Amino acid sequence: MAVLFISLIKLKIVCMEDYKDKIISDGKLARIVALSSFLIGTLILVTYKITNENNLVVIGFYYVIIALFLNSILFLNLLYNLFIYQKKYAFQLGNIAILFLNIPITLFYLEIVFRKL
């Protein structure tokens, strides 16, 4: 999780000269967060399935809440960019779609866990 936050800070601190740099930087950030969310969630689920440790269910739920918060902030930022900077429209919509791909995956993972409980 610390690596994710360091990546977030590095991408946001970069001094951007114009809106195209902002759109591209925010798009990269969204992809990094989406992929990190997926990988961490999958790691928690696989570890739970292997060990059957109920503490991982609690950790997983806290993780879902944190990931939901972080992804929601990024979604609002991407949506803002979409309406304010109407350039690179397809690129921005693609990044929003990538962020949204985690929703059905998360619901599927939750279903797997609830079936087991």
* Structural domain includes residue 6: no
* Structural domain includes residue 2: no
* Structural domain includes residue 33: yes
* Structural domain includes residue 4: no
The residue range of the domain holding 36 is 19-116
Q: Which tokens belong to 37?
A: 């969310």
* Structural domain includes residue 82: yes
Residue by residue, pLDDT tens for the chain (117 residues) are 555 555 655 555 554 456 777 788 888 999 999 999 999 999 999 999 999 898 999 999 999 999 999 999 999 999 988 888 777 788 889 989 999 998 999 999 989 888 876
Of 81, 104, 108, 107, nearest in space to 94 by CA: 81
* Structural domain includes residue 5: no
* Structural domain includes residue 49: yes
- How many distinct structural domains can be found in the chain? 1
CA–CA dist 79, 76 (Å, integer): 5
* Structural domain includes residue 29: yes
